[in-house]
Structure 1
Amino acid sequence: MIYKLSNAVDRAQIEEEFGVHFKYPHLYTPSAIIDGFKETNVCVVTMQDKRKISFAIWGLMPQDFKEDWYIFQNNANTLNVQLQDLEKVEWMRESFVKRRCLIIVSGFYTHLLKNGKTYTYYVTLQTGKPFYLAGVYNVLEDGFQCCALITAKTNAFVSSYHDISNQAPIIIPKSHAKSWLTDDFDDNTLKEVVNSPPEVKLKATLMAKEFLKNVIPSGSILHPDFLGK
């Protein structure tokens, strides 16, 4: 599973890359580490508002849920959801059919076990540009949105840098964004995207060990000198 994301690019770069503007532009702040274990927001483009970037709490809760985020997440971690959940859990199924979204990131963090130690990698596009991850969302009783990453089995590249689980986010290329957000629900097509997503060119950078201890400033988290060590 993936519990840390990054969206470290500025607002202008995001809007230029996707041709979509922020609904509330002054609320956006670049963040090198988005920690899913804390109640935090991510940038999303939703089926209901395809031409605007809005915000959603990371961690899916049922539609019209009335209690606090931590109450639900302490009982059911829904930062990541799999296709089997979206098919078999009734309230998640509704989200998959009616409320898909694209989550904007500049990268995500993976973990590899080697010689009895844990190594963390920062996975990005080779171009360094922001990109979309497949997600689903709901709207809470107070009007706030919440969302989850949809994960699938890791491909050959990601599995080389992530073996704590066999699940990773699904990257949706810009060319497929419109299809992902379409109002017409085609179960077979969406399943194909989840199970066999389009290939994109990625790179992985090894992080400094201090990253795992949360003791280095977010603005200097990348440490290429640790690569291969």
Structure 2
Amino acid sequence: MCGRFVGFRPLKDLMNYFPIDVANIEVTENFNVAPTQEILAITRHDEKNHLERLHWGFVPFWAKDTTVGSRMINARSETVATKPSFRTAFKNRRCLILADGFYEWAGKAGNKQPMFLTLPDGKPFAFAGLWETWDNQGKEPIPYRSATILTREASASVMPIHNRMPVILQPKAFDLWLDRKNQDVRLLQDLLHKQIYTRLKSVPVSNQVNSVKVNRPGNIKPVEIK
């Protein structure tokens, strides 16, 4: 799964790493991104890739309110094409969720060690995501836009920490994933299985990251395990 992550790159760096055509938002660093917070995502509209802010936690258009989003921060890639909550978005509203790393907790309950996971080269990356717009059947003047991160079975480098991991797309998959004309479920599932990063680096970090209130660069500094 993926329950917390990190994003600290300035906009000029994101523009170099990702296919962004339009970016009319302010980009700020966050060393402890938590569910329901706003996250940076790339969506495609009018044949252009827009960098925008979405709430983390998927809220289906038919939901009674937005509270359901806190329980839908992740979607299993194995079933996303058929699960009622996600199948329409999987065909029509896919996005790239930008990050520099994510946290996962290793060990047994009561004595879990937070770990910070990144690509081996330390470069930023994109989770495969889905997005949705909720406006309470037209009753809300400002639509609530939300997203979820797709997950998969953990790779060999992540399995010692957790049995699930987020789907991290390789750059060559970006265009097909964002292409709203691409509704080929088999092709999309192929991207999620073959055009991804699976080898990650992990380091132990301070248990202060357990609190969402602790948001500082020191969160990702490696610590010695006693």
Paired residues in the alignment total 218
Contact 1:161–1:204 (8 Å) recurs in 2: no
Q: Percent identity?
A: 21
Superposition TM-score, scaled by structure 2 size: 0.85
Q: Residue type matched to 2:97 in 1?
A: I
CA RMSD in angstroms comes to: 2.4
C-alpha contact 2:32 2:212 (8 A) present in aligned 1: no
What's the offset of the Cα at 1:136?
Answer: 0.5
Residue number in structure 2 paired with 1:168: 165
Gaps of 5+ in 2: 136-141
Per-residue Cα deviation, 1:192-218 (whole angstroms, up to 9, x for no partner)? 233445335421121113332567552
Aligned to 1:118: 112
The 1:195–1:66 alpha-carbon spacing in structure 2 relative to 1, beyond 3 Å, is same
Distance in 2 separating the partners of 1:206 and 1:85: 31
Whether 1:130 aligns to 2:124 is yes
Q: TM-score, normalized by length of structure 1? A: 0.84
1:47 alignment partner in structure 2: 44
The residue identity in structure 2 corresponding to 1:175 is: K
1:90-149 superposed Cα distances (whole Å, 9 cap, x missing partner): 241100011011100111111111696211111112222211100111112133321000
The answer as to 2:156 corresponding to 1:159 is no
Do residues 144 (structure 1) and 138 (structure 2) align? no
Q: State the one-letter code of the partner of 1:28.
A: V
Name the counterpart of 2:89. 95
90 and 126 in structure 1: CA distance in 2 versus 1, 3 angstrom threshold: same
With over 3 angstroms needed to count, the CA separation of the structure-2 counterparts of 1:217 and 1:178, relative to structure 1, is closer
1:185 aligned to 183, 186, 196, which one? Answer: 183
Q: Which consecutive aligned stretches of 4+ in structure 1 deviate over 3 angstroms post-superposition?
A: 213-217
Instruction: Tell me which amino acid in the other structure corresponds to 1:110.
Output: E
Give yes or no for the alignment of 1:107 onto 2:77.
no
Q: Name the SS for the 1:158 alignment partner.
A: coil
In structure 1, runs of 5+ residues without a counterpart are: none
The structural deviation recorded for 1:59 is 0.5
> Does the 8 Å contact 2:157/2:199 carry over to 1?
no
